[in-house]
Chain A
Amino acid sequence: MDLGNYGKNKPVTFGQVLNRFLLKTLQIILGSRIPSTLPHGWNGEVKNSDKWYNLVLGHRFATMDDLCSWTRTLTEPMVIDIILVRKSKSFSIDMFKDVILERWIICFESQKSMMTCEICGVSCKKTYKKLIILLRSVYSILRLLPAYQAFRKLSSLQKNCGFDIKYNVCSVSGAFSEPQESMKGYSFVPVEAAQGRFGISVCYREDLSDFNMDGFVLHPLEIISDYVDSPSPSSNSNKSSSTIRKVSRDAKQDSGFPNFLYSLRFPYFGSSRISTKSSLIVDSFGDSDFSCPFIVDDTDPLDGQASLKLDGTNSAEVSLKSQDAAVGAVIRLLRNAPPLQQDPHCYNKLEKEDGAASESKLCKPRKTSDGLEELKLYRNMKDVLLAKNAALRCIGKI
């Protein structure tokens, strides 16, 4: 799309250039990583909005329209995590936890009080040309990074694949749960503009051989009717014990970033876990409002794992008398807590497992009594934790 010819009755503003840059980058990345974004029965129709940065992509996905007004603040970075997620529990425990394959950070550093309504002049058009080149190289490099092979495998196997690739978009770049040495970085040369600087960088997992993705193909269950040899009971229990010990160890050894907090700090789009920023402005090209409260994920990846004991029994009963149990109770409370922000215009959109969007629903306003009940619960939790702490101190003094 040539800036000079775009909507001759509508002059292009710098704010649009920036907004569309972020959108196009998101579209390029997700189109190269998330199979569910591939068009089904796309008739090849090209809209004006597709022509931005002279790169026509056929990818459409539900959250794209919602994310059209993502950067209302414009100066906050857009962090896109590409995450490998296991789909079935029948695989090796080693492949149990979700893994960040790539983290893309797209940012604009404003150098002065930026006027987003500033009409694009000669300088802006030069910037636009450089951004076209930048986006070309992002498109190319996405095909050279290791995660592309995972995307291709998933695209070809689809439902028969034992893993899935999800994405997460937010403005917070939290700590990796993986060792840093497994990640490699690449930064594109920033594009300087009169209004600020555009930057794109990526941290990516260099080696995916640990995941043995060829072994992720799902197979139908078979009953071996004439199986002769069977392992001895003792070897079975040893194996299950060692497996359980490994699960417990893994659950505890997430390097400073437990999985249950992951969903709190990383709002999710394009998966079952959704949350966004609130109070966004309508894009002038007809993109709809999208504001969502912060919603805690209600699926705890540690469900059934952290509670396993070394003897293999599942301790479903959590006693409030133990400190660990109290912590677990707090965690469950946080998981089930309603949204923190109660914007009357907010809504949340839940996606089904196959990626299709379900109906929206409005958040219900909370009453004072709800808040008081919650406060009581927090007080009880606090009392339990303090009592336990005091008991431990007494024991220590004996």
Chain B
Amino acid sequence: MNCEVCQLKELDVEHFEIREVLRCILHTILFHRALGLVRPKDVDLELFEITYVQCGDAELERKVDEKIDQFIDRVEKHPNKKTQICISLYEVKNKQATWFTNKVERHHWEYWYINLNVAQHPKGHSSKSHSSKVVVDPEDTAAEARRARRAALETSLRDVLFQIIRFVNEKKDHVPSIQNLDGMLFPYEITISSSSDSAFGMDMFKRMLQTGHPTMLS
């Protein structure tokens, strides 16, 4: 079976925007891959005029938020590195343990790479910029620049959502059968990686080809 990879368009975000942006993107991907019975839930973003769709599953929401927290921690600890979040979907090929190994073989059939370029601000400064009551820069030009940046990010986020929709429509043959689907969603994992150089993505891809599944980088 083929393995398809989707590198989503990179987004420039402020620290306080990470959670909303990641929730939107992660849930949109998962909604399109939750081919079991779903009662969709519409969610409005607070920072942008965008509505995205969740699967309406509390456990899934909890797991996604957990991963987002890990991502934010990673960004704060390594502000100079580019941090990437990846959703991979797989099939479990061998559930039975053997004499020599308990390893469960996973065959990944799809990878989604979400690339956020987080603006480097001190934590205290970014929280101030989130508050509408604290005037950081009284000049109109600075406020106008923020509005323009926010509008550009909204447009880019919308582009990413369209990119997801285009990808899931163009690539369908590699999706496994839903006959034996256990639950709502195919088995998946969300991994967070960071690298200090531009070869980061290529490292991930090479590792994927060699081992068939990504490993967590420390």
Interface size on B, residues (CB 8 A): 30
Contact indicator B40/A188 (Cβ below 8 Å): no
Question: Does B136 lie at the interface of the complex (its beta carbon under 8 Å from any beta carbon of A)?
Answer: no
Contact indicator B51/A129 (Cβ below 8 Å): no
Question: Does B28 lie at the interface of the complex (its beta carbon under 8 Å from any beta carbon of A)?
Answer: yes
Contact indicator A140/B170 (Cβ below 8 Å): no
From residue 13 to 35 of chain B, which have CB atoms closer than 8 A to chain A?
Answer: 28, 31-32, 34-35
Contact indicator A54/B28 (Cβ below 8 Å): no
Question: Does A392 lie at the interface of the complex (its beta carbon under 8 Å from any beta carbon of B)?
Answer: no
Interface centre among B39, B158, B170 (most CB of A within 10 A): B39
Interface size on A, residues (CB 8 A): 29
Give complex CA distance A152, B169 in Å.
27
In the complex, residue of chain A having the shortest beta-carbon distance to the beta carbon of B44:
A152
B165 to chain A, nearest CB (A): 5
Give complex CA distance A246, B209 in Å.
67
Give complex CA distance A144, B28 in Å.
12
Q: Which residues from A are CB-within-8-Å of B37? A: 1, 51, 54, 56
Give complex CA distance A141, B52 in Å.
9
Contact indicator A133/B172 (Cβ below 8 Å): yes
From residue 121 to 143 of chain A, which have CB atoms closer than 8 A to chain B?
Answer: 125-126, 129-130, 132-134, 136-137, 139-141, 143
Question: Does B5 lie at the interface of the complex (its beta carbon under 8 Å from any beta carbon of A)?
Answer: no
Contact indicator B168/A136 (Cβ below 8 Å): yes
Contact indicator B177/A188 (Cβ below 8 Å): no
Question: Does B50 lie at the interface of the complex (its beta carbon under 8 Å from any beta carbon of A)?
Answer: yes
Contact indicator B178/A188 (Cβ below 8 Å): no
**Chain A binding site: helix, strand, loop or mixed by DSSP?**
helix
Contact indicator A133/B51 (Cβ below 8 Å): no
B52 to chain A, nearest CB (A): 7
B27 to chain A, nearest CB (A): 10
Partner among A1, A4, A55, A144 whose Cβ is within 8 Å of the Cβ of B161: A144
Contact indicator A189/B49 (Cβ below 8 Å): no
Give complex CA distance A4, B175 in Å.
18
Partner among A126, A133, A140 whose Cβ is within 8 Å of the Cβ of B177: A126
Interface centre among A56, A57, A132, A149 (most CB of B within 10 A): A132
Partner among B50, B51, B169, B179 whose Cβ is within 8 Å of the Cβ of A125: B179
Give complex CA distance A130, B177 in Å.
10
In the complex, residue of chain A having the shortest beta-carbon distance to the beta carbon of B49:
A149
Contact indicator B39/A56 (Cβ below 8 Å): yes
Give complex CA distance A126, B177 in Å.
7
Give complex CA distance A272, B204 in Å.
59
Question: Does A2 lie at the interface of the complex (its beta carbon under 8 Å from any beta carbon of B)?
Answer: yes
B25 to chain A, nearest CB (A): 12
Give complex CA distance A139, B50 in Å.
14
Contact indicator B50/A144 (Cβ below 8 Å): yes
Q: Which residues from B are CB-within-8-Å of A51? A: 37
Contact indicator A129/B158 (Cβ below 8 Å): no
In the complex, residue of chain B having the shortest beta-carbon distance to the beta carbon of A191:
B172
Give complex CA distance A133, B178 in Å.
11
Answer whether A54 and B38 are a contact pair too, CB < 8 Å, given A126-B177, A132-B178, A136-B168: yes
Q: Which residues from A are CB-within-8-Å of B52? A: 140, 143
> B-facing mask of A212-232, CB < 8 A → 1, else 0?
000000000000000000000
Answer whether A144 and B169 are a contact pair too, CB < 8 Å, given A55-B38, A149-B49: no
Give complex CA distance A40, B158 in Å.
32
Question: Does B6 lie at the interface of the complex (its beta carbon under 8 Å from any beta carbon of A)?
Answer: no
Q: Which residues from B are CB-within-8-Å of A58? A: 39
In the complex, residue of chain B having the shortest beta-carbon distance to the beta carbon of A136:
B32
Answer whether A133 and B161 are a contact pair too, CB < 8 Å, given A125-B177, A140-B28, A143-B53: no
Question: Does A96 lie at the interface of the complex (its beta carbon under 8 Å from any beta carbon of B)?
Answer: no
From residue 180 to 207 of chain B, which have CB atoms closer than 8 A to chain A?
Answer: 181
Question: Does B36 lie at the interface of the complex (its beta carbon under 8 Å from any beta carbon of A)?
Answer: yes
Q: Which residues from B are CB-within-8-Å of A55? A: 38, 40
From residue 1 to 41 of chain A, which have CB atoms closer than 8 A to chain B?
Answer: 1-2, 4
In the complex, residue of chain B having the shortest beta-carbon distance to the beta carbon of A131:
B172
Question: Does A61 lie at the interface of the complex (its beta carbon under 8 Å from any beta carbon of B)?
Answer: no
Q: Which residues from A are CB-within-8-Å of B162? A: 141, 144
Give complex CA distance A54, B50 in Å.
24
Answer whether A141 and B179 are a contact pair too, CB < 8 Å, given A51-B37, A133-B35: no
In the complex, residue of chain A having the shortest beta-carbon distance to the beta carbon of B184:
A54
Contact indicator A2/B178 (Cβ below 8 Å): yes
Question: Does A262 lie at the interface of the complex (its beta carbon under 8 Å from any beta carbon of B)?
Answer: no
Contact indicator A136/B31 (Cβ below 8 Å): yes
Give complex CA distance A191, B37 in Å.
21
Contact indicator B35/A140 (Cβ below 8 Å): no
A105 to chain B, nearest CB (A): 16
Question: Does A176 lie at the interface of the complex (its beta carbon under 8 Å from any beta carbon of B)?
Answer: no
Contact indicator A133/B168 (Cβ below 8 Å): yes
Contact indicator A139/B40 (Cβ below 8 Å): yes
Contact indicator B39/A139 (Cβ below 8 Å): no
Contact indicator A130/B168 (Cβ below 8 Å): no
A119 to chain B, nearest CB (A): 16
Contact indicator A56/B38 (Cβ below 8 Å): yes
Q: Which residues from B are CB-within-8-Å of A125? A: 177, 179
Report B's interface with A, CB cutoff 8 A.
28, 31-32, 34-40, 42, 49-53, 158, 161-162, 164-165, 168-170, 172, 175, 177-179, 181
User: Given A139-B40, A143-B42, A189-B172, 15 other A-B contacts at CB below 8 A?
Assistant: A2-B178, A54-B178, A58-B39, A129-B35, A132-B35, A133-B175, A136-B32, A137-B165, A139-B53, A140-B31, A141-B162, A143-B50, A143-B52, A152-B51, A189-B170
Of the A-B pairs whose beta carbons lie under 8 Å apart in the complex, a sample of 14, sorted by A's number, is A2-B179, A54-B37, A129-B35, A129-B178, A132-B35, A134-B169, A136-B32, A136-B35, A137-B169, A140-B52, A144-B161, A148-B51, A189-B170, A189-B172
